[in-house]
Each structure stands twice: as structure tokens, then as C-alpha cells.
Structure 1
Amino acid sequence: MSELRIGSIGLGNMGGRMAACITRAGKAVLGYDPVAANITASGATPAGSAADVVDGSDIILLSLPKSAVVEAVMLGDGGVLEHLRDGQIVVDLSTSAPASTRMIAGKVLAAGASYLDAGISGGAAAAEKGKLVLMVGGEESVLDRARPALELFSGKIFYTGASGAGHTTKLINNFLNAITLSATAEAMVAGKKAGLDLEVLLDVINNSSGVSFASLNRFPKIIKGDYLKGGLTNSLMMKDVLAYVELARDLGVASPNSAGPLASFGLANALGYAEQISNTVVDAIGDVSGGVRLFDPVPGGADAPDAPHEAPHDAPEAKEQP
């Protein structure tokens, strides 16, 4: 069987890094993004439109902000659905609502093509290294066909079940991510105000029952002034938590634990951190706790890092975020 031609629609923070992994592996990517600079940075071959990507590809990767955008790209006039051919595969790598995913998948199947929903975890750092974790829903036989392309930017691929299962798994994972990040941020602000040595506090947490991805991988850097810029912003984290709450409602699952991250990331958005990496939620909590910062650089010192709360509207760069 001939090698699948790869196309990519959406070449921003995550999509661009995934496409770059593919091109670094010596494979061509036909790419489209409304921001031309994103196409150039990804190393993709420019396409004039999303429809052109479909016309020139066998497998089409989508990396878009939310379900509404995915629906517009897939189902809008002149969109992907109108140009699909028999045997093509569309892989939605966005964080989308499972109900929307299943609806689109049905329309794609009726057009003779296949649709996989592939939630991703690992953030910008893993995307940069081609080590993302993928959680994939849809037909397992279709995943087997798509796997050679997906392995170019992922370290682990989990088959999670029928259409929508991948995006459901992603929302659940992101919900836990939001809880542990916001809760650890609050705990670290409390530790700072209590006068504790934050390195010792983290060492205790990471060897005790309070350990989490946030305490292991984020806060050892944050307490030294490195907010690991890049990845999920506070506004996107809020979007994902709300999407989980909607999923829980549809499933009939009580969600008392959603109150914490909704309050924390809502606070961050209200205080001007909306487009900053979600790790800055600790500064938002610090703001309303007496102006607390976990890292106190010497004013004007050579070792003083960029402080996100000083300039909350700087565009994020790249490092880490599940």
C-alpha cells in the first residue's frame, strides 16, 4: 500500500509543532492556517485553503481551538466534508465536545471517509519532541491505518473505544489537570505566606500523598520564576473545565469538585491572565492573597526572570503543559 499523504489544518501552538515533527522525519505535510507565518514555522507546504488540504491529502489532521471551530471547518460551505473522498481519514486532535464529535463522525462516514477523535496530552514540550500521548476514539481498524502518521509526533497511542471516546477521555484528563494545578497553586501560596521553604514543601509533597503532575513537573520551576510559558492558557483551561462540566451533566454525574478550578481559572481570567499560561493561576491566587509571589527576584537583578504578573499580556512561548 502506498504511503499516506499527510495534510494539516490548524498550525498554531500545537498543530504547528506536530507538523514540524512530521517534516523533521522527512515526510511532507500540506498545511493550512489563516496565519501564514504559522505555516512557514511548521515547515509545511502551504495550501491555499482547508479544501486544498483535503484535495491533496489522504489523512487530514485537525488542530483547532474548540468544537465550534471544528464544526465550521468540517461542515461549513466549502469545508472539509464537501471535499472528502472515499477512504480518506480525518483525525481531530482538538479538545472537542464528544457529542459534536459523534455528529461529525456520522456525516464523515456517510461521505465514505473515516473520522478519528484523538485527544492529546503532553503540551508544547511533548509536541516539540514528538512525544505526545494520544487517546483515540473511532474504528480501531482506521486507527491502525492512521498509526504510521500519528506515530511521527506521539510517544504513546491509546485506543479508547468508539467515536467520541477519545475526546471524552481527554476532557476527563484535563479536568484532573485543572484540579491539581489550581489546588497546588493555592497550597503553595499558603506555604509561602506561612513562611515555609518552598523547595522543602515540594519535596515533602512529592514524597507524600499530595503528589501530582503539577507538584512534580511545574512548581519546582515556578518557585524559581520559570512559569514554563507555552501551552494551555487560563482561558483555554476554563473552556476545558466548562466542557467537562457539560459532559458530566450529559452523563448525569454530580460534579462538586468542578467548583475549585472554575473559581480559580475564572479569577485568573478576570485579573488579566486569560492569555497567559495556566500556571500563572498561582499569581492570580497570590494577587487576592496579599500580593504573594512564590519567587522574589532581587529588583533589577541579573538573575531576575520575566515575571508574568508584571506583563500579563505577553504572548506565551513554548515549554510544557498537558
Structure 2
Amino acid sequence: MSELKIGFIGLGNMGGRMATCITAAGIDVLAFDPIAENVTAAGARPAPSAAAVTEASDIILLSLPKSTVVEAVMLGADGVLSRLGKGQIVVDLSTSAPDSTRMIAEKVEAAGATYLDAGISGGAAAAEKGQLVLMVGGPETDLERARPTLELFSAKIFHTGASGAGHTTKLINNFLNAITLSATAEAMVAGKKAGLDLEVLLDVINNSSGVSFASLNRFPKIIKGDYLKGGLTNSLMMKDVVAYVDLIGALGMASPNSAGPLASFGLANALGYADEISNTVVDAIGDVSGGVRLFENVPNDGNHSKKEES
């Protein structure tokens, strides 16, 4: 492992887990998050600002909610860009719009530094185990410099192309994730209403043509009442699908398959599940299908938003 100084900005749901993987390896991390407890919980040293992290680091890792936040942190007054110098590497682990990524990368390059866009996949469980999959856009030589750090929280790292390619790959992957999750949720509600044994139904699906990541890894736990809390929320899933649709529009192509996840996660957000893990989309579909719950001990007494207000 090199002696590059590591900085981290944004230690929320995913960032905190990734930072913890680094500090657990005995490596010092200087970090900033608006919630100071997130920094100490990850075993990192607190910095007073993103600018302070930038000044003291060779590699600056970002894990932020969306492009507008990334732009504010990177380009805002006293932001990361204002403190970047020659040879530094910024790795954006957020799910960002490729156009925004390329715009920031040009500004970072003009400052003599490098901007790598690194989409991540695997969710909270993989982040905790250091088993994420990374899809990285930007100069490959700089990826190799950053690789020893990135390998502390990832199992596989793919160089996907020039700047923006990593985030483009992430949006495409997340779109498929959204489709299979929402479609499998609907299928499970249908199976429940039809009186099928859901364990048998899943066994059939997982040994047949309907198999997916959702059916293999999510629903065997969901049907037992474990929603795998801590992963991507319904609001963030919706944000990613909308970003994918924006990408498709910019590419000048049709997206007939985006209607399903837009409707499903839009429903979940409307019914009050916005800040809950996206796996609860199955409950939103269940709510409008007669109050169905896959697991008997999970409440099914009507609309979730009404329950929250009671």
C-alpha cells in the first residue's frame, strides 16, 4: 500500500461504510461530513471543511447524493476545486449525471489534477464487507495510482473508458436494478394474492428464466420480513431512474421500459416510503393491491403514508 494521504468527503450511508473499510486497514483518513458523528463512527479524523480535506490529501474520495451536491462541493466558494493542485486525484463515488461529471473533470484537469468518476454497485452489505464493484471513467494511469485505495472497499474494479463513462455505466446498471427489483416485487405480490408458497415460487424463479439479482439476493430475505435496511432508498432509486431517462433523451433513443420503475418507485414515494430502503417498493405495490404483505408479521393495515401520520 502506498503512503498517499487519503481524504474523504461525504460519510453517509455508503460513504461511511467505505471510509470504515479504509480505516479498518490501519490507514489514516481525513474526512468531512456535515454530521460530525459520521466521521468519528468511521474511525476517520474530522476536518473542518471539504477544502481542508483537499489541502491535506493526495486522493480525495467523494460520496454524495447527486450531481447538484457534487457540483456545490467541487465548484462552490472555497470548494474542492479552489484548493486542488498538481497531481491530486479526486474520485467521485456518487451516482452523478455524466454531463456534469465531464464538466467538472475539465475544470479539475485545468488545475493540474485528475477527476475519476467511479460508479459503485453492491449496496450497503457489499460496502461493509469491502466487496463493492466499481466502474471507473477517466485516465487509466490515474486509476492505477488510486487502485490500492479503491481495493480496500471493492472486489472488482473496471476501467470503463474516458471521463463520464463510469457514471454512464452506473446509470445503466441502476436502471436494470430498478426494473428487476420493481418487477420482482410485483410478481411476489401476485404470488401472495394467488395463495402460492413464496419460497417455492422463488425457488422456481431462481432456477428458471425469471431469475435476477433481486430474486436471488433480496426476496429470499424480504419474504421472511428482513428488508435489508441500510441500502438505497426509494427516493434515491427514483432519482437514478430519472437520471437514466435524461441520459437516454440526450442519446436520442427510446426508453419504453422505463415506465415500469418510474411508476413503481413513484408510487412508493407517493405513499410515504421515500426515505425507506427501495426494497419496500413491494409494500407500496401491496398497499394498492389490497394491503398485501409478503411476511405475516409486517403490518398491512392500509396505506403507509397514513400509518406514518397516525
TM over 0.5: yes
Change (3 A) 1:28 1:211: same
Work out whether 1:295 is the aligned partner of 2:286.
no
**1:7 corresponding residue in structure 2:** 7
Which residue identity does 2:105 align to in structure 1? A
Name 1:253's counterpart in structure 2: 253
Q: In the alignment, which residue of structure 1 is the partner of 2:44? A: 44
1:104-123 equivalent positions in 2, closer than 5 A: 104-123=104-123
Q: State the alpha-carbon separation in 1 of the partners of residues 87 and 306 from structure 2.
A: 49
- Report the equivalent of 1:226: 226
* 2:21–2:153 Cα contact (<8 Å) kept: yes
1:232-264 superposed Cα distances (whole Å, 9 cap, x missing partner) = 000000000000000000011210100000000
> Which whole-Å deviations, capped at 9, do the CAs of 1:62-98 have from their partners, x for residues lacking one?
0000000000000001000000010000000000000
- Mapped to 1, the partners of 2:307 and 2:102 lie a distance apart of 37
How do residues 67-78 of structure 1 correspond to structure 2 at under 5 angstroms? Answer: 67-78=67-78
Which amino acid is 2:175 matched to? F
The normalised TM-score by structure 1 is 0.92
User: How far apart, CA to CA, are the structure 2 residues paired with 1:16 and 1:269?
Assistant: 25
Look up the match of 1:34: 34
Aligned counterparts of 2:220 and 2:30: Cα–Cα separation in 1: 39
How far is 1:3 from its partner? Answer: 1.6
* Superposed displacement of residue 227, structure 1: 0.6
Partner of 1:89: 89
Tell me how far apart the structure 2 counterparts of residues 286 and 49 of structure 1 sit (CA, whole Å). Answer: 44
- 1:309, distance to aligned residue in structure 2 (A): 5.2
Residues 2 and 40 of structure 1, relative CA distance in 2, 3 Å threshold: closer
Cα offset, 1:298, TM superposition: 9.1
- In structure 2, relative to structure 1, the CA distance for the partners of 1:182 and 1:113 (3 Å cut) is same
The corresponding residue for 1:215 is 215
Q: What's the CA shift for 1:297?
A: 2.4
The one-letter code sitting in structure 2 at the alignment partner of 1:271 is L
Work out whether 1:154 is the aligned partner of 2:157: no
Q: How does 1:64-213 map to 2 (within 5 A)?
A: 64-213=64-213
Q: Is the 8 A contact 1:91 1:116 kept in 2?
A: yes
Counterpart CA distance in 2 for 1:170 and 1:298 is: 33
The total of aligned residue pairs comes to 305
Aligned to 1:271: 271
Percent identity over paired residues: 83
What root-mean-square deviation, in Å, do the aligned CA atoms of Structure 1 and Structure 2 show? 1.6
Does structure 2 conserve the Cα–Cα contact (< 8 Å) formed by 1:272 and 1:312? no
The amino acid across from 1:212 in the alignment is S
Q: Which amino acid aligns with 1:76?
A: G
Partner SS state of residue 268, structure 2? helix
Specify whether residues 56 and 196 from structure 1 end up closer, same or farther in structure 2 by C-alpha distance, changes over 3 A only.
same
- Cα deviation digits, residues 172-203 of structure 1 (max 9, x gap): 00000000000000001001111111111000
Which structure would you say has the larger RCO, counting Cα contacts within 8 Å and 6 or more residues apart?
1
AA at the equivalent of 1:18: M
Q: Which amino acid letter does the alignment assign opposite residue 271 of structure 2?
A: L
- Give the drift of 1:134: 0.3
1:289 Cα deviation from its structure 2 partner: 0.3
In the TM superposition, structure 1's runs of 4+ consecutive aligned residues that sit over 3 Å from their partners are: 308-313
Q: Which runs of 5+ in 2 are unaligned?
A: none
Give the match's secondary structure for 2:185: helix
Supply the distance in 2 between the matched residues of 1:178 and 1:158 (Cα, whole angstroms). Answer: 21
User: In the aligned structure 1, how far is the partner of 2:22 from the partner of 2:5?
Assistant: 11
Provide the residue aligned with 1:305 in structure 2.
Answer: none
Tell me the TM-score normalized by structure 2. 0.96
